[in-house]
Structure 1
Amino acid sequence: MLATISTFELIDHASDLGQAVIQSETYLAYLEAKKELQADTVAQGRIRKFNQMKDQYEEVQRFGKYHPDYDRVSSDIRKIKREVDLTVTVATFKKAERELESLLIEICEVIARSVSDAIKVPTGNPFFDNMSCSGGCSSGGGCGCS
């Protein structure tokens, strides 16, 4: 592909957009939440414990309910996961992460729609996103698609 002036301009605009995201309140809140999570020794201990337990859980899952420790390990991992999720710094970080992801998805959608309405933009989990289907969802038009 030959580089043209317009290609360089597009790259400059993309770089400017990236800098705008980095300077946004959403990104700064994400960085602050990440820093607080990394400094929280209780949260880090719980995460480490969860990761160790996850290895045991994966081993038990290979055999399913026939593994002798299946019930204990399954119960323990749910308890540890809940402890991790209820830790304030973890919850704050996850919220900031979702907000940053939402901002980036919104930017991607604006860029894609400015080029063409036919461009599909991956937006994460379709069960939690706004249902804006572009057809073929098998709901008979119940979602409002055509």
Structure 2
Amino acid sequence: MVGTMEMVGILDRSEDLGKMILQSDVMEAYNNSQKALKEDKESQKLVKAFADIKDQYEDVQRFGRYHPDYSVIMKKVRTIKREMDMDDKVAAFKIAERNLQKLLDEISGNVAMSVGDMIKAPKDGAALSDGGCGCGSGSSGCGCKAS
């Protein structure tokens, strides 16, 4: 019974923490920038163009430099991504997204450290504090450090 009541208390506190995050200035900035991005037709055209070329890029990646359109697609990807990244709404959203991720990482780190030094928590947007991306495959294509 004691364990159950303790768990209920922990869950209540975590819900309170979630509500605090949702009401934070960082979350408000994120929501506002996301809304502005979604409502801007020009920004949406750039995002869609990037998503479309990204599909072609993934197809080219399967064959690498041996793909007949490798050079053309790689140049298009860089050009369209640069255009998208230079858009004010996209840039504002990315900044807000990074700030929110930083807040969540900081909170996760504080919770983990309060439990113990050996507890792993996301750091700098990564899934594991040892610098890996968290996919667990350890394949040469990703740069993960599978444990």
Q: Which TM-score band (shorter chain)? A: 0.7 to 0.9
Partner Cα distance (1:15, 1:118) in 2: 25
1:32-75 alpha-carbon deviations (Å, 9 max, x no partner): 00000001111110111111111112222222222221111110
Supply the AA of the counterpart residue of 1:38: K
Tell me if structure 1 keeps the 8 A contact 2:57–2:74: yes
Cα deviation 1:84-128 (Å, max 9, x = unaligned)? 1111100100100010011011111111111111212121457xx
Identical aligned residues as a percent: 43
Q: How much has 1:3 moved relative to structure 2?
A: 5.7
Where do 5+ consecutive residues of structure 1 fail to align?
132-146
Q: Which moved more, 1:48-57 or 1:97-106?
A: 48-57
Report the Cα distance in structure 1 between the residues aligned to 2:38 and 2:114, rounded to whole angstroms: 39
In structure 2, the residue matched to 1:94 is: 94
Higher relative contact order (CA 8 A, sep 6+): 1
- Matching of residue 44 in structure 1 with residue 44 in structure 2: yes
The residue number in structure 2 matching 1:111 is 111
Alignment RMSD (CA, Å): 2.1
Give me the TM-score of the superposition, normalised by structure 1.
0.80
How many residue pairs end up in the alignment? 128
1:1-146 paired onto structure 2 within 5 Å: 4-124=4-124
In the alignment, the residues of structure 2 paired with residue 118 and residue 3 of structure 1 have an alpha-carbon distance, to the nearest angstrom, of: 23
- State the 4+ residue runs in structure 1 displaced beyond 6 angstroms: none
Counterpart in 2 of 1:138? none
Corresponding residue SS for 1:33: helix
Gaps of 5+ in 2: 132-147
Structure ID, larger Rg: 1
C-alpha change, 1:83 and 1:93, in structure 2 (3 Å) is same
